[in-house]
Structure 1
Amino acid sequence: MIEAFHYRVSWRAASPHPGTHASSQNGGSDEFAGLVPFVASPNPRNLDLRASLGDPFGQLAVRRFRQRSQIPVVVIADLSASMGYRGTGDKAATVAQFVASAAWSAFRQGDRFGFIAGDEHLHEALFLPTRLYKGGVPELVERLALVARQGRSAASLRQAAQHLGRQRALVFLVSDFHFPLQEAQALLASLARHDVVPVVVWDSAEYDQLPEWGLVLVEDPETGGRRRLFMRPALKARFRQRFGERRELLSDSFRRQGRPPFFLIDRFEADAMTRYFLSGF
């Protein structure tokens, strides 16, 4: 069963299509937006008699309202080799589960959904244009869980902004961000006109579920480089420390660029994402 999460944005939607989000579009009767002269909005049903009788110039006044509108919700996913890591969990399966939940959540809230993925190159076969998908995107989720993660970088994601359209979107940027911080900052900068939620996908086996003693083979999946280490408590503590420092660095950097990251470790829980949005970010 696919679990939905609840999300909200602090900005006003620009879409003329009705939805659940605060909008800059006039119309409907959802949000009172002030009084205007009758000639500016000649709708007798919204006539405000008290305000009209109190107008010193004798002008008729009508109440103006703003409708609630839909927004675009887009997932941009990193499919480079490191995103195929299997440890305590399975990053590929975790990302597929998140995409299924995001698509279902968008459908539940009446919003349009889109999907873009890439590594060194954008995966055109997985591209979904932003529109309403009744019931989510089960076919995409099945293909996404099976696609090979072999790319040596996530460089193509810088092109994703070109596929997002003009309206401001809620964008979930999904990656383990195992690349230089400057590249991550540049990627977020390319999406600056949108509301970006960085979703950091890690596996605890990468840094926490390590043996106290013994030989460990460490491999960089994107370069193919391998190194054999003799694990001991002090080295294990250094692994944990480095990941902790990386977490703080990503959190500080992403927060300055918009939103703090959501750390998705081992498995996805829809309630945790709901709490992220309810926390006020």
Structure 2
Amino acid sequence: MSSEADGPGLAALGRAIVWKFRRRQAGVRPGAHRGRFAGADGLFTDLAPILACPDPRRLDLRRSVVDPFGMPAVRRFELPTTVTVHVVVDLSASLASRGASDRHRLAALLAGAFAEAAHACGDASALAVALGSEAEFALPPGRGRERTAAFRDTVLSVRPSGTGIEGLLGIAAALPRRRTLVVLISDMELAPTDLDAVLAAFDGHALIPVWLRDSALEAVDTGTGPLPGIARMQDPETGRTALVVLGRRRVEAWRAGRERRREELHAVLASRGREAVTVLDRVQVAAFAETLARVLP
């Protein structure tokens, strides 16, 4: 995925997913998001008695004059702030499995797009990748447009490998204790109990799961002939492939099992108050941005 090929698309996707939080954020650096702290300027919030907010510079003369009790009123403002978005990419071996799409490249594209969106918001961004039981903190928090390409290229340079969730748990444990924005990009080839453990580890943060799905890996291709037939099957967790003989019942059972697993994972997400932003084969920019806006806290 060269920058010449996907540069304009990467920038456009980043601009499309610029975020606005509904909840106030606790940062102290001036930025684009609603903050928890009061300031001399910013977004007007309300009026308060001067005893509750003793700042005569913000005196509202009009409201003070008409107050029936003669209590001076002052204006209160909300100081806009910034956040740090931590992009976490699950690069376990299953992400190397390819069918209708290259999910490794999709993960790289999305990592770069979130770095671009952070730059557009004035926010900082950081990148970490998990390789099964291993964790790599690839890029520390920072700012700058050059991070868009750096995030993408870093994810592309790492070969998906490993199994397990220890890497993801280690990344979660290393995050700042203060609530921050975390984007988890994964193919979600996890047991429901493992997904629940991962969500619990990120529970104190504003977590956005991005679920990379491949339609071809969720179907069974037996060629053009009638069943029974020969199909190349991939283990979703390891990415290994094997040729197997399939009858109609086995195909139906395999498809039903995959559908049941997706339903179980959705149920785990819902039980933790999370909704995944799903990417099936390719990024549909408008739909992606709409879902992202809905799931942001």
Distance change (3 Å), C-alpha of 1:207 and 1:14: same
Range 204-213 or range 167-176, more displaced: 204-213
**For the residues of structure 2 that align with 1:48 and 1:236, how far apart are their CA atoms?**
73
Contact 2:135 2:167 survives alignment (8 Å): yes
**For the residues of structure 1 that align with 2:127 and 2:254, how far apart are their CA atoms?**
34
Give the alignment partner of residue 171 of structure 1, picking from 175, 182, 192: 182
**For the residues of structure 2 that align with 1:158 and 1:188, how far apart are their CA atoms?**
9
Quote the residue 1:275 is aligned against: 290
Contact 1:71 1:170 survives alignment (8 Å): yes
Q: 1:6 offset after TM fit, Å?
A: 3.2
**For the residues of structure 1 that align with 2:21 and 2:52, how far apart are their CA atoms?**
34
Quote the residue 1:160 is aligned against: 171
Q: 1:268 offset after TM fit, Å?
A: 2.3
- Please state which structure has a larger fraction of its residues in helix: 2
**For the residues of structure 2 that align with 1:224 and 1:54, how far apart are their CA atoms?**
73
Q: 1:201 offset after TM fit, Å?
A: 1.4
Distance change (3 Å), C-alpha of 1:31 and 1:168: farther
The residue type paired with residue 114 of structure 2 is: A
Taking structure 2 as the reference length, what is the TM-score of the superposition? 0.84
Distance change (3 Å), C-alpha of 1:205 and 1:55: same
Contact 1:87 1:206 survives alignment (8 Å): yes
Q: State the identity %.
A: 27
Distance change (3 Å), C-alpha of 1:204 and 1:117: same
Matches within 5 A, 1:39-188: 40-44=53-57, 46-55=58-67, 58-119=70-131, 120-124=133-137, 127-188=138-199
Contact 1:153 1:222 survives alignment (8 Å): no
Aligned residues: 278
Q: 1:15 offset after TM fit, Å?
A: 0.7
Give the alignment partner of residue 26 of structure 2, picking from 14, 21, 24: 14
Unaligned runs of 5+ in 2: 1-7
Distance change (3 Å), C-alpha of 1:237 and 1:8: farther
The residue type paired with residue 267 of structure 1 is: R
Q: 1:173 offset after TM fit, Å?
A: 1.2
1:210 aligns with 2:221: yes
Quote the residue 2:3 is aligned against: none
Contact 2:50 2:73 survives alignment (8 Å): yes
Quote the residue 1:194 is aligned against: 205
Unaligned runs of 5+ in 1: none
Contact 1:197 1:259 survives alignment (8 Å): yes
Q: 1:245 offset after TM fit, Å?
A: 2.0
Contact 1:84 1:91 survives alignment (8 Å): yes
Deviations 1:36-68 (A, max 9, x none): 316833242x21113322446644321111122
1:32 aligns with 2:45: yes
**For the residues of structure 2 that align with 1:116 and 1:100, how far apart are their CA atoms?**
13
The residue type paired with residue 196 of structure 2 is: Q
The residue type paired with residue 249 of structure 1 is: E
**For the residues of structure 2 that align with 1:41 and 1:71, how far apart are their CA atoms?**
29
Distance change (3 Å), C-alpha of 1:111 and 1:209: farther
Range 148-157 or range 177-186, more displaced: 148-157
**For the residues of structure 2 that align with 1:272 and 1:258, how far apart are their CA atoms?**
21
Give the alignment partner of residue 251 of structure 1, picking from 255, 260, 266: 266
Contact 1:112 1:131 survives alignment (8 Å): yes
Contact 2:95 2:239 survives alignment (8 Å): no
Deviations 1:88-125 (A, max 9, x none): 1111101001101111111111111111111211124x
Distance change (3 Å), C-alpha of 1:41 and 1:166: farther
Distance change (3 Å), C-alpha of 1:275 and 1:64: same
Taking structure 1 as the reference length, what is the TM-score of the superposition? 0.88
1:220 aligns with 2:235: yes
The residue type paired with residue 207 of structure 1 is: E
Quote the residue 1:238 is aligned against: 253
